[in-house]
Amino acid sequence: MNRKYSLKKNKDIAQVLKWKKVVSNAYYIIYYRPSLVSQIRFAFSVSKKIGNAVTRNYERRVMKEVIRPFLEGMKELDCLMVVKKEATKLTFHEKEQHILVLIEKLAKKKGEKNDQ
């Protein structure tokens, strides 16, 4: 994933959490808010409860790889994606399907008037 799509500053991530807009399922949570820049930016969070560093980095890489093709189509959002412990039991294709469902939900939510 290109660096320009990364949400890195703690201040920006805290603002996304403070906004309290969320789409989720049993395996992933995406917190989002309108972006201050003209492109989508993502941050990824994997708790130490998930496993060792190898497992956490694998989960982070999977999330980035699944989201990468959709970054150009999505505009003006800051997002924080959190993985739940149950997601470690899924295969790559199952993870991909669950993340794609959340991206579709996110695209629908962004169009609503009350989110702006």
Q: Give the closest residue to 83 by CA, choosing from 109, 113, 105, 57.
A: 57
Per-residue pLDDT tens over the stretch 15-72: 888 888 899 999 999 999 888 888 888 899 999 999 999 999 999 999 989 988 888 7
Q: Distance from CA of residue 2 to its chain's centroid?
A: 15
pLDDT at 113 over 70: no
Q: Can you give the pLDDT at residue 115?
A: 44
Fold of 3-109: Ribosomal Protein S5; domain 2 (3.30.230)
Residue keyed to tokens 């989002």: 32
pTM for this prediction: 0.85
Instruction: Give me the chain's average pLDDT, please.
Output: 85
pLDDT at 77 over 90: no
